[in-house]
Amino acid sequence: MQVQTLKLQFLRCPTSASSHHLAEALCSMPNLTDLSLITMDLNEEFCSTLKAKASSMQVQTLKLQDMQCPTPTSHHLVEAICCIPNLTDLTMHGWNFDEEFYSTLKAKASSIQGCFPQIKKGKFRVNGVAQDDLNSFLNTLTCLQSSDLDCSSDWDGSTNSGNSNDSDNSADFGSSNDSYFSANSGNSNDSDG
């Protein structure tokens, strides 16, 4: 199975090792283009591993919703987000990033040549709003930081990731109410049956 869409929801990693392995697994999925992290507590091990391996990710759509990310950890998350080479659609909603998160994100995006390469191509969206260039992206971050939702008319925070429950190429995993994730493998030439 070649997973293209993965939604991790209410997932908890009780140890640093499990956080490390989860981040490594996400970064090693060669066909993963749509990743949703929903209602997760991000720890430093997960985010630092993600940062170290982000440049190998193929993710185009990243949705971060209702997350807990303490300040030291948020630096690693910012660096990871900035380094995902094919990222074209970033959704952040339902959680309050601190001032430091936005400041770090703006500073990284402004200063690092390789950050958000798709912005330079005019192929980048934040919370559903097209970003024409780095300046529009920085302006959007300022609006998000100040929670000024009047900066745009389209702030619903949704992404079109399909409905994995209606696809023949999907799988839902989870064994308790505490964790849920689903995967959509898309079309594949492999036939099991």
Q: Which two tokens stand for residue 124?
A: 């980048």
> Ranked by mean pLDDT, which of 3-12, 62-71, 127-136 comes out on top?
3-12
Residue-number span of the structural domain to which 18 is assigned: 5-184
* Residue 151 confidence (pLDDT): 55
Longest alpha-carbon distance in the chain: 53
Angle at the Cα of 127 from the Cα atoms of 136 and 48, rounded to 5 degrees: 90
Instruction: For residue 99, tell me if it sits in a domain.
Output: yes
- Give me the number of domains the chain comprises: 1
Residue 150 lies in a domain: yes
The strand pair at 124-126 and 34-38 is best described as unpaired
- How far, in Å, CA of 127 to CA of 154, rounded? 8
pTM: 0.75
168 in a structural domain = yes
The answer to whether residue 21 sits within a structural domain is: yes
Asked whether residue 191 is assigned to any structural domain, the reply reads no
pLDDT single digits (tens) 43-81: 999 999 999 999 999 999 999 998 877 777 888 999 899
